[in-house]
Structure 1
Amino acid sequence: MFDFGFTELLVIGVVLLVVVGPERLPKVARTGGHLLGRLQRYVSDVKSDIQREMQLDELKKLQEQVQQQARELETSVKGQVSDAESGLRKAEQEMRATVGDVQQAAAPQSSATMRPVAGEATGPASPPQTAGNAASQQPVPADKP
């Protein structure tokens, strides 16, 4: 804190011995030491408070930067999502229009192709199976050699 050399401290001690006297010198030195300790603790407390405030300010600035970047990222993502949604809506509309055109084009042709031909049967191709018919038509397993 202060730049005192050994000789300067020796001069201060001699002056203190002459002024205070040898009887009260230990008590004065003890009191001076306590006061010096309190002063050092006070200075260190002030330093630590200033350091904490500086760190708190730095953390607040860092937090603001992170929040700003998060907002920018959010707006960017929202913009890309809205672009993708509009592209999907456009594709959906185009597909619906194409399906509608195909259905309209197929509607006149389907009425002509849907008429039954004279030789085709409209009933089922094979008679329905009953329990007796189903048992007689099942394959019989071969014996194992």
Structure 2
Amino acid sequence: MFDIGFTELMVIGVVALIVVGPERLPRVARTAGALLGRLQRYVADVKADINREVELEELRKMKDTVQQAASEFESSMNEDLRKAETDLNRSVAEAAGEAQPELSTEGPAETPTQTSAALDKPDRPDAQGAPR
């Protein structure tokens, strides 16, 4: 932080001893040390906050990238599904168009009610309700 050597510290100490006096010098030194400690903690907190903000910004960028990729994937899937739906509808329409003429060319089919009515009629008169 500061480029202060041992000789500069000695000069500062001697000047402080002369200006403050030997009685108050220990108290001033403690106060200066406490203030320097607070300053160092404050600088460390600011550095931590800046690092946290940088990490948050990186995470936001990553989140935006992932969201963009997800939306691109979703749009491509929707497009593929629409194509598949169109192809399926076209195939169903073609199959229905081919099946319609085949049904109209066939003769009338025997209905299930006609068949069941024929089965209900007995062929012999004695089988209609004769006791056994």
* TM-score of the two chains, using structure 2 as the length reference: 0.74
Cα deviation 1:68-99 (Å, max 9, x = unaligned): 22111111110000000000111111111122
Q: Secondary structure at the match of 2:22?
A: coil
Which residue of the partner structure matches residue 130 of structure 2? none
Between the aligned partners of 1:11 and 1:104, the Cα distance in structure 2 is 117
Residue of structure 1 in register with 2:75 after alignment: 75
Q: CA deviation at 1:58?
A: 2.0
CA distance in 2, matches of 1:72, 1:101: 45
Q: Supply the distance in 2 between the matched residues of 1:7 and 1:53 (Cα, whole angstroms).
A: 41
CA-CA distance at 1:42 after TM superposition: 1.1
Q: Counterpart of 2:21?
A: 21
User: Aligned partner of 1:85: which letter?
Assistant: E
Matches within 5 A, 1:18-57: 18-57=18-57
CA RMSD of aligned residues (A): 2.0
SS of corresponding position for 1:3: coil
Q: What number of residue pairs does the alignment pair up?
A: 112
Equivalent-residue separation in structure 1 for 2:56 and 2:68 (angstroms): 18
Q: Displaced runs of 4+ in structure 1, greater than 6 A?
A: none
Cα distance in 1 for partners of 2:84, 2:11 equals 85
User: Shift of the alpha carbon at 1:65?
Assistant: 1.8
For 1:11, the aligned partner's letter is V
- Equivalent residue letter for 2:17: L
**Which residues of 2 match residues 1-145 of structure 1 at below 5 A?**
1-105=1-105, 107-108=106-107
Unaligned runs of 5+ in 2: 111-117, 120-132
TM-score, normalisation: structure 1: 0.68
Identity %: 52
Output the amino acid matched with 1:69. Answer: A
* Paired amino acid for 1:71: S
SS for the counterpart of 1:22 is coil
> Whose helix fraction is larger, Structure 1's or Structure 2's?
2
